[in-house]
Amino acid sequence: MRKIPEFITEEELISIIKKTKKEHHKLAFLLGFYQCMRISEIVKLMQIDIDKNSKIIKVHGSMSGGGAKGDKDRNIPIAPEIIRGIKNLPIGCGVRSLQRAFKIAARKAGIVKKLHFHSLRHSGATYYLNIKGWDIRLVQQFLGHARLDTTQIYTHVTPKNLIDKMWGVKKGGF
């Protein structure tokens, strides 16, 4: 049985960003969460991959490092939360440096979950499905998955989400 990866909330992401000093690290974390990008895609992302008029990021399959994950190109809309940070591209550091920076920032933010940089991608997918209310097929396309069951691994349903969806609980509680 596959272990479900840890994920963070948007509030936890914000606390991590607040504990991050370097602007290019902040942008990388935001790209991981809001754009659901892989770390290998983030370190290879260049200004030329950004269509500022259409507000689209062109993610090339070759950015993922080859193999099954690297076969497909995809165009993803730029999340409003990262528009201003795009000027900090390219990220200018490698995979290991970003992984280390993320773990340090998460620890400084007081988050005790066993997180990895890839947790940002899982967290973003969960955010779009549960908080933003996207259809799972839309999340699948955003992530660039060929199979829906792969996307389902990336999405987490919390007990609160179940209660809200199943019983129609509105904000403000019972």
Q: Which of 26, 38, 44, 156 is catalytic?
A: 38
**Region of residue 91 (phi > 0: left; psi between -120 and 50: alpha; otherwise: beta):** alpha
Please confirm, yes or no, whether 121 is among the known catalytic residues.
Answer: yes
pLDDT of residue 160: 58
pLDDT of residue 21: 94
pLDDT of residue 118: 92
Q: Which of 24, 25, 44, 121 is catalytic?
A: 121
pTM of this structure? 0.84
Q: Which of 58, 69, 74, 108 is catalytic?
A: 69
Q: Which among 147, 144, 150, 173 is positioned nearest to 160, based on CA atoms? A: 173
Hey, how many other C-beta atoms are within 10 angstroms of the C-beta on 11? 8
Please confirm, yes or no, whether 145 is among the known catalytic residues.
Answer: yes
Hey, how many other C-beta atoms are within 10 angstroms of the C-beta on 131? 11
Q: Which of 25, 44, 122, 145 is catalytic?
A: 145
Please confirm, yes or no, whether 38 is among the known catalytic residues.
Answer: yes
pLDDT of residue 143: 87
pLDDT of residue 71: 60
Q: ω before 90 within 30° of 0 (cis)?
A: yes
pLDDT of residue 150: 75
Beta bridge partners of 51: 56
| pLDDT-flagged residues of the chain (< 50) | 66-68, 70, 174
Q: Say what the alpha-carbon torsion angle 112, 15, 23, 87 is, to the nearest 10 degrees.
A: 120
Domain covering 10-167: architecture = Orthogonal Bundle (1.10)
Please confirm, yes or no, whether 154 is among the known catalytic residues.
Answer: yes
What does the alpha-carbon distance between residue 92 and residue 77 come to, in Å, rounded to a whole number?
22
